[in-house]
Structure 1
Amino acid sequence: MIIPNLMCSDMGRSVAFWRDRLGFAVTMTVDAARETRFGPDAMPETAVFTILEGAGGQLMLQTAGSLAEDLPEGFAGGLPDRPGIAVYLRDLSPDAVAAGLPAGAVLKGPETSWYGMREVYFRDPDAHVICVAAPDGPAPA
């Protein structure tokens, strides 16, 4: 199983985005003192790492400072200007997600691609590109 771990600058803001806008549920958090909490109410103010579940998979969020502590010396620990990852989430409603995003957040769509997927592209609060997609009719032959 591949589980993306996205760096974030504000854990509360990032969790709220994934939970409230995309319907993910918090399953585990770790705070700055390395105390682990489980369940949907496990969101301390000092969380530095969070696992969420939704769209048939898992996603991890980690503050840049916490990730820097886990990596060898020399890691800058800052967020890049443009993160080098795009997350593709299948089987959520692109139209419903787009309708719930703030004005100006959508980069492209919702529209149906040539390969039969209804898609909307947008950025999360830490500038990661997210695409929500669902089949829009039969796949092309």
Structure 2
Amino acid sequence: MSAEDRQTMSVGLTCKDMKASVGFYREKLGFEMKESWPDAENPMWANMVLGGQSVMLGQATPPEKVGEMCAGDEEALAIHTGLATDFRDNLPGAGVTIYLQVPDIDAYFGEITGRGVETDCKPKTEFYGIRNVFLRDPDGYRLVMFTPVTMESCQSCGMPLTDAEPGQMYCDYCTDEEGKLRPFEQVFEGTVTGFFMGMQKMDRESAEKAATEHLSKMPAWAGQ
């Protein structure tokens, strides 16, 4: 990989059909092939890049043929034989989800579906500050294409988020000096005394009951 690509996290995916996978990432998802080996026409390995994010694709090799590529390196032989065996015997990427950021998920969704890409859902805004679409590549690897979004309300207490940054989930009252979500007990007490008692003029007992019901509907405290 180039020095530029090494500055960001990269993932490597083993593929059953390199040409099909390269075509999917390049022609369907809009990736650029930055590097390849041995060549771009018949790659065994390719570095596909989208917005500075690197997805490296590699042709699957039968375990019994790994030795032909390791040139007597016993350590490499053991590592790559294990990888090849795992790919042969298991569902590729089971339990793994790869998130890739795009500037505008709604526009991107229109582009890729226009190219024939099938997605698992339409763009959806999540409570944790992103809008995303789920899809799978030709080998079944699960990809989530997303864009950070500005939330209208705090996902902890429900108060309006003014001047929020994309991806911001919580208001200043619900976070500490490091921006981390405060414990439920602190948020609960602030909701009781600050909102229901202070602003709604409720007595303590009524305020606690109202705060309990209110916070139970907040994504941050689901099931609390």
Q: Larger relative CO (CA 8 A, sep 6+): 1 or 2? A: 1
Query: Structure 2: which 5+ residue stretches go unaligned?
Result: 1-7, 71-76, 151-163, 171-224
Residue range with higher mean Cα deviation, 85-94 or 71-80: 71-80
Identity of aligned residues (%): 25
Normalising to structure 2: TM-score of the pair? 0.51
Which protein is richer in helix relative to its size?
2
Cα 1:21–1:118 shift into 2, 3 Å = same
The alpha carbon displacement at 1:83 in A equals 1.6
Large movers: runs of 4+ above 4 Å: none
What's the secondary structure of 2:20's corresponding residue?
helix
- The one-character-per-residue Cα deviations of 1:65-101 (angstroms, maximum 9, x if unpaired) are 1887265245425273242321101134322333323
Gaps of 5+ in 1: 32-36, 38-42
After superposition, the Cα gap between the structure-2 partners of 1:125 and 1:60, relative to the gap in structure 1 and judged at 3 Å, is: same
- Note if 1:47 corresponds to 2:43: yes
CA contact (8 A) 2:92 2:139 kept: no
Give the root-mean-square deviation of aligned CA atoms: 2.5
Structure with the higher fraction of residues in strand conformation:
1
Identify the residue that residue 119 of structure 1 maps to in structure 2: 132
| Bigger Cα Rg | 2
Kept in 1, the 8 Å contact 2:20–2:138? The answer is yes
Measured at CA, do residues 113 and 79 of structure 1 come closer, stay the same or move farther in structure 2, by a change above 3 Å? Answer: farther
| Amino acid in the other structure paired with 1:9 | K
- Equivalences for residues 1-141 of structure 1 within 5 A: 1-31=8-38, 37=39, 43-44=40-41, 46-65=42-61, 69=66, 71-72=77-78, 73=81, 75-76=84-85, 77-78=87-88, 80-84=90-94, 85-99=96-110, 100-101=112-113, 102=116, 105-137=118-150, 138=164, 139-141=168-170
Q: Structure 1 length as normaliser, TM-score?
A: 0.76
